[in-house]
Amino acid sequence: MSPRPSASTISAPALRNRRSLVSPTKMRVVKLLLAALLPVWTSSSPVTNILLLGNDVCLDESSLLAVVANLNANAPATDSDVYQKKHLPVFFFHGLTGNSTEGFNYQANLTAEGRVFVPLAFCERECSLTALNIQVPMVIAVVREVVATDERFANGYIFIGHSQGVMMARAVIEQMDDHNVHTFVSLAGGVNGIFYGPQEADRNSIHDLGAGFGAAVLP
């Protein structure tokens, strides 16, 4: 009788024979057992109780539970919230190499509602290829001037950004400490859908961006 082969020398036919020892009937029994035990396991899993700590909304570690407990995503908006948002004026940020007229469709619909619509024209066409760290102070100055001279902006306003204008609007919100942006609308922006950082599929687009106009726009 030949010696039994070791685990490292088992041939492919022998391995297939071993696998065939698990009959469909046995597999069916295992699946039925798992299906029967799963409700028991889930019911015995520990549950974290979240204590209500009032209206503390400071986002430090000690108050995160309070934020989760007090945040009710299903709560309907109040009449005052809806009224305020429906009457807020709008700033429009155009895309790369574009101009302020690109928002004509938004302007037609929003002004029909009685809104104020301001398409930003501080740096259009070739100028929009300028690095963001140069453009951002320019647009902040324009926004501040409009807000200071028009009382309709006193209760806040909405930013709508399209394409590269999304990046510009985000940068303004981050750097303009005295902004009163109520809502930020992102349309086909460079960061749409990115929640966990760049993925493998993003490498080609990132390479193309850096090799093309991105080299001029990104500081």
φ, ψ of residue 11 to 5 degrees: the values are -75, 165
Whole-angstrom CA distances from 153 to 85, 118, 201 are 12, 11, 41
Residue spans per domain, the chain: 87-192+201-217
How many other C-beta atoms are found inside a 10 Å radius of the C-beta of residue 140? 18
Query: How many Å apart are CA 213 and CA 215, to the nearest integer?
Result: 5
pLDDT tens readout for residues 52-64: 444 443 444 444 4
Can you give the pLDDT at residue 189? 87
pTM: 0.55
Q: Among residues 97, 99, 98, 119, which one has the least CA distance to residue 108? A: 119
pLDDT tens readout for residues 97-132: 999 999 999 999 999 999 999 999 999 999 999 999
Can you give the pLDDT at residue 54? 44
pLDDT tens readout for residues 167-204: 999 999 999 999 999 999 999 887 776 556 666 766 77
H/E element holding 81? Answer: helix 79-87
CA dihedral 93, 94, 96, 97 (to 10 degrees): -130
Q: What share of the chain is helix, strand, coil (3-state, %, to 5)?
A: 55, 10, 35
pLDDT tens readout for residues 70-80: 445 555 556 55
8 Å CB contact between 95 and 164 = yes
pLDDT tens readout for residues 132-169: 999 999 999 999 999 999 999 999 999 999 999 999 99
How many other C-beta atoms are found inside a 10 Å radius of the C-beta of residue 157? 23
8 Å CB contact between 102 and 76 = no
Amino acid at 29: V
8 Å CB contact between 68 and 53 = no
Q: What is the CA radius of gyration of the chain?
A: 29
Topology at the third CATH level for domain 87-192+201-217: Rossmann fold (3.40.50)
